[in-house]
Amino acid sequence: MRQSGNYLLIAMPNVARAGAYRAALTATSLETVLVRDGDEARGQIARRGAPAVLILDLSLPKVDGFELLRELRQQASAGETGAIVVSGHAAIRAAARRLAEPLGISRVLPVDVDRIALREAIDATLNELSSARTASVLPPPVATETAVSSVTGSIEDLIDNAVMAAARRFRTAITVAYVKVGQQEYNRGYFVLSETDGSVSAAHSIAFLRQVAAGSDPLIVPNVTNYPALKEIAPVGMPQVRGFAATPLPAHPDLTGALCVMDTKPLQIDASELDALEALGRELHRAIGGHESRTAVPDPSTNAADAAVDIDSLERLASADPLTGLANRRGGEKDIAAEISRARRQNSPLSAVLLDIDHFKEVNDTFGHQAGDYVLREISALLRRTVRAYDILVRWGGEEFLVVLPGVEHEPALKLAERIRHAIENMPLAGIGGITASVGVAALGGDYSFEAMFAVADRRLYSAKAAGRNTVA
């Protein structure tokens, strides 16, 4: 076994995001190395040994993130190399939570996690490792972008042009696009299949492409064989397909879509080619947006400055709580829905822990809102340290936090809730003194309704308040 190296490896196809991750880690006493695909990550590990920590986007070109982790665990245990995985797709994060134990995953994070939460995840992971590390920072690689021409015509023509441009660029067996403008959906495809490949319908990909279109990041699976999250991302299967890469169009309230290349053999494209696919998606978005602008009745109330708003970035920000770095209610509901869907499919348990800080208004009134913010951040950090990598943490609102526990029955959830309550009661808070929390616990019922489970947890929380606070019900 090769000894783990004194470096932190970030494997992520998006250069700007990888650079932002590295900027958040400047205080870490580790050399930070960036790679853009699974093959590059393999090469670094082969040359330098396993890293101290691997930050891994699960949608990687050439070798997918799950396969890379499986290979890494043959060389280094979870106690030797910490693994923090990220994804912009709720279904992929759900699969990662399910595989956290066998693959030694320390933390599962949304790809747009904020700097504070990322630092806390790194610190918590490093605290679980024993070796001392040394620091050095490498310059980030430079991104390249492929430009394509806009074409006028009907929406169907614009989509067909984008599909043909992608087919010519990547020369794969299947190229498909899905676009939704308002309530109208379009699905176009181009196929180059031999008789032995069988038949494939573009319509078969609609459910999968709708899921990609709803996200904000590309999804690439070089080889679907034994890919653990395939059922989550393509419940009806992908006949004849062995590998694929899909990119969402930039998000807009009235225009969503996805552009995808698939092949009947494992897909071997590198990070720069993934950039090219994203560029084609952006160009299709601009072309359709231009078409809609030319055909729409002008709205005199529209402010030209609105066009400069980065809607995609706003959507990502809208899913996270900026103070604590946890998911907010909107962001949490997406992951919770995926876990409840999996619980229904697998007939597995799931529980919820809802906690509320006691007398929080008094903290704000006595010590000021900055002290209140400090308390919320400290409790968020405590929760991250207490729960498993694949549990879902949400700042539900105000001083209320929700923890969703996949695979956990009611009794073990009660024990965890009591442990959290005790930890909060004994948490040192400089200049404030002690605080307490009241907690309600509920298990998912046979109707698989999150709303019903939450309502029970909420009633029990207020029963705990009525019983004198600082208790679990």
Cα(233)–Cα(93) distance, rounded to whole angstroms?
A: 11
Q: With cut-offs at 50, 70 and 90, classify the pLDDT of residue 4.
A: low
CATH code for 7-137? 3.40.50.2300
Percent of the chain at pLDDT exceeding 70: 84
Mean pLDDT of the chain: 82
For the segment 247-290, what is each residue's pLDDT rounded down to a tens digit? 999 878 889 999 999 988 999 888 888 888 998 999 899 888 86
Q: What are phi and psi of 257, to 5 degrees?
A: 175, 180
Q: Answer for the pair 439, 463: CB distance below 8 angstroms, yes or no.
A: no
Identify the pLDDT of residue 408: 94
For the segment 355-406, what is each residue's pLDDT rounded down to a tens digit? 999 999 999 888 888 889 899 999 998 998 888 877 899 999 889 999 999 9
For the segment 230-255, what is each residue's pLDDT rounded down to a tens digit? 887 877 777 788 999 999 998 788 89
For the segment 50-62, what is each residue's pLDDT rounded down to a tens digit? 999 999 999 999 9
Spell out the domain ranges in the chain.
Answer: 7-137, 155-295, 329-466
* Identical fold between 7-137 and 329-466: no
Cα(235)–Cα(250) distance, rounded to whole angstroms?
A: 25
Q: Phi-psi bin for 343: left (phi > 0), alpha (psi -120 to 50), beta?
A: alpha
Identify the pLDDT of residue 201: 52
Which CATH topology does 155-295 take? Beta-Lactamase (3.30.450)
Which CATH homologous superfamily contains domain 329-466?
Answer: Reverse transcriptase/Diguanylate cyclase domain (3.30.70.270)
Identify the pLDDT of residue 355: 97
Helix residue spans in 25-130 (DSSP H) = 38-48, 65-75, 90-98, 100-103, 115-127
For the segment 422-461, what is each residue's pLDDT rounded down to a tens digit? 999 999 888 888 899 999 999 999 999 999 999 999 999 9
Three-state DSSP at 444 gives coil
Q: Which of 63-77, 93-107, 168-182, 293-307 has the highest mean pLDDT?
A: 63-77
3-state helix, strand, coil in the chain (%, to 5): 45, 20, 35
Which residues are CB-neighbours of 10 under 8 A, at least 6 positions away? 18, 21, 22, 32, 33, 34, 35, 55
Task: Point out the least confidently predicted range of 151-155, 175-179, 260-264, 301-305.
Answer: 301-305
Which residues are CB-neighbours of 139 under 8 A, at least 6 positions away? none
8-state DSSP, 266 = -
Task: Point out the least confidently predicted range of 31-45, 46-60, 296-310.
Answer: 296-310
| Beta-ladder partners of 438 | 356
In the predicted model, what is the mean pLDDT of residues 51-74? 93
